[in-house]
Chains A and B, each alone.
Chain A
Amino acid sequence: MGFRFYLLAILISLLSTSVLSDLILSKVDRRIDLTSQIVRITTAIKVENTGSEPVSEFLLAFPEHQAKNLAYLTSAANEGKGKVKDSTSSLPIEAVDLNGMPPALSFYSVSLPKGLAKGEILTLDVLAVFTHLLRPFPEKITQADIQLMLFEDSAHYLSPYEVKVQSLSVKLPDARIEFYTKVDNTKIHGSEIKYGPYEDLPSFSYLPIGIHFESNQPFAVASELVREIEISHWGNVMVTEHYKLIHGGAQSKGEFSRLDYQARPNIRGASAFRRLVAKLPPRAHSVYYRDEIGNISTSNLWSDSKKTELVIEPRYPMFGGWRTAFTIGYGLPLQDFMFESEGKRFLNISFGSPINDVVIDNLIVKVVLPEGSTDISVSAPFLLKQRQETKISHLDLVGRPVHVLEKTNVVPEHNQYFQVYYKFNKLSMLREPLMLISGFFFLFVACIVYTHADLTISKSSASYLAKQQWDEVQTAIEQVQNIIHRCLAVHDKLEASLRDLSRTGDVQACKAARKSADVLLKEVSKELKPLLSFLQSSLPAAQIYPKVEELVAKEKELQARLMVKHSTVVDCYEKKSGGRDVEKKVAPQQLKLTALRQEVDDLLDFIDEI
Chain B
Amino acid sequence: MVVGNAESMKSDLLSSLSIRWIKLKTKQQEVLIRVSILCLVYILAFISRLFSVLRYESMIHEFDPYFNYRTTLFLTQKGFYEFWNWFDSESWYPLGRIIGGTLYPGLMVTAALLYWSLRFLRFAVHIREVCVLTAPFFASNTTLVAYFFGKEIWDSGAGLVAAALIAICPGYISRSVAGSYDNEGVAIFALLLTFYLFVRAVNTGSLAWALASAFGYFYMVSAWGGYVFIINLIPLYVLVLLLTGRYSMRLYVAYNSMYVLGMLLAMQIRFVGFQHVQSGEHMAAMGVFFLMQVFYLLDWVKHLLSDTKLFQAFLRVTVTCAVGVGVIALGVGTASGYISPWTGRFYSLLDPTYAKDHIPIIASVSEHQPTAWSSFMFDFHILLFLFPAGLYFCFKRLSDATIFIVMYGLTSMYFAGVMVRLILVATPAVCLISAIAVSATIKNLTYLLRTKRKVSQTGSTEGINGAKASSKALLDRSQPFQKNSAIALLFGAFYLLSKYATHCNWVTSEAYSSPSIVLAARGAHGDRVIFDDYREAYFWLRQNTPQDAKVMSWWDYGYQITAMGNRTVIVDNNTWNNTHIATVGRAMSSYEDEAYEIMRSLDVDYVLVVFGGVTGYSSDDINKFLWMVRIGGGVFPVIKEPHYLVNGEYRVDKGASPKMLNCLMYKLSYYRFGELMTEYGKPPGYDRARGVEIGNKDVKLEYLEEAFTTSNWIVRIYKVKPPNNRW
Contacts and interface: CB of A to CB of B under 8 A. Distances in A.
A185 B322 CA distance: 113
B556 interface: no
B458 A597 contact: yes
A608 B26 contact: yes
Nearest to B675: A259
A453 interface: no
B31 to A, nearest CB: 11
Nearest to A435: B122
B538 interface: yes
A256 B532 contact: no
Interface string B90-123: 0000000000000000000000000000000111
| Interface SS of chain B | mixed
B458 A392 contact: no
Contact of A323 (B124, B454, B544): B544
B532 A315 contact: yes
Contacts of B57: 294-295
B467 A397 contact: no
Given A256-B706, A256-B709, A608-B27, A325 B543 contact: yes
Given A259-B676, A316-B708, A478-B25, A293 B466 contact: no
A598 B536 CA distance: 75
B543 A322 contact: yes
Interface in B458-513: 458, 462, 465-467, 470
Contacts of A609: 26
A315 B675 contact: no
Given A255-B706, A594-B470, A291 B462 contact: no
A254 B538 CA distance: 20
B705 interface: yes
In the complex, which of the residues A393, A591, A598 has the most CB atoms of chain B within 10 Å of its own CB atom? A598
Interface string A391-423: 011111100000000000000000000000000
Contact of A594 (B25, B467, B672): B467
Nearest to A495: B465
A258 interface: yes
Contacts of A297: 518, 530, 532
Interface in A276-317: 291-298, 315-316
Contacts of A325: 543
B458 A591 contact: no
Tell me the interface secondary structure of chain A in the complex: mixed
Contacts of B711: 258, 316
B80 interface: no
B710 interface: yes
A322 B530 CA distance: 24
A257 B544 contact: no
Interface in B414-455: 454-455
Nearest to B57: A295
B532 A258 contact: no
B157 to A, nearest CB: 13
A255 B705 contact: yes
Contacts of B454: 598, 601-602
A258 B710 contact: yes
Contacts of B151: none
B535 A294 contact: yes
B470 A258 contact: no
Nearest to B533: A315
Contact of A291 (B25, B539, B672, B713): B539
Interface residues of B, number: 41
Given A256-B709, A323-B543, A594-B467, A315 B122 contact: no
Contacts of B410: none
Q: Which of A315, A323, A590 has the most CB of B within 10 A?
A: A315
Interface string B120-140: 011110000000000000000
A583 interface: yes
B84 interface: no
B540 interface: yes
A324 interface: yes
Contacts of A597: 458
Nearest to B543: A323
A40 to B, nearest CB: 30
Contact of B672 (A257, A322, A393, A602): A257
A89 to B, nearest CB: 46
Interface in B672-702: 672, 675-676
Contact of A315 (B470, B530, B539): B539
B205 to A, nearest CB: 14
B59 A295 contact: yes
A314 B30 CA distance: 58
B664 interface: no
A392 B124 contact: yes
Given A258-B713, A324-B539, A395 B123 contact: yes
Nearest to B539: A315
Nearest to A245: B543
Contacts of A602: 454
Interface in A189-240: none
B536 A315 contact: yes
A396 B673 CA distance: 56
A435 B123 CA distance: 12
B467 A293 contact: no
Contacts of B158: none
B418 to A, nearest CB: 35
Contacts of A590: 462, 465, 467
Interface centre among A316, A323, A439 (most CB of B within 10 A): A316
Nearest to A246: B543
B319 to A, nearest CB: 38
Contacts of A295: 57, 59
A268 B242 CA distance: 78
A371 B26 CA distance: 50
A396 B530 CA distance: 39
Contacts of B542: 292-293
Contacts of A583: 465-466
Contacts of A601: 454, 458
- Kindly name the residue among A293, A316, A321, A602 whose own CB sees the greatest number of chain B CB atoms within 10 A: A293
Nearest to A439: B121
B47 interface: no
Contacts of B233: none
A315 B535 CA distance: 8
A155 B257 CA distance: 93
Nearest to B531: A297
B124 A259 contact: no
Nearest to A604: B26
Given A258-B709, A478-B25, A597-B458, A293 B543 contact: no
Contacts of A397: 122
Contacts of A322: 540, 543-544
A393 B25 CA distance: 46
Contacts of A392: 122, 124
Interface string B704-721: 011111110100000000
Given A255-B707, A295-B57, A316 B124 contact: no
A294 B59 contact: yes
B706 A257 contact: yes
B676 A394 contact: no
Given A258-B710, A393-B124, A591-B467, A608 B543 contact: no
Given A321-B544, A583-B465, 10 more contacts: A255-B706, A257-B672, A257-B706, A294-B535, A315-B536, A316-B536, A324-B539, A392-B122, A598-B458, A601-B454
30 contacts: A255-B706, A255-B707, A256-B706, A256-B707, A257-B672, A258-B706, A258-B708, A258-B713, A291-B539, A293-B535, A293-B564, A294-B59, A296-B532, A298-B532, A315-B539, A321-B544, A323-B543, A323-B544, A392-B122, A394-B123, A395-B123, A396-B122, A397-B122, A439-B121, A594-B467, A594-B470, A598-B455, A598-B458, A605-B26, A608-B25
Top 7 closest pairs, chain A to chain B, by CB: A258-B709, A323-B543, A608-B26, A315-B536, A295-B57, A293-B564, A393-B124
Interface of A: 254-259, 291-298, 315-316, 321-325, 392-397, 435, 439, 478, 583, 587, 590-591, 594, 597-598, 601-602, 605, 608-609
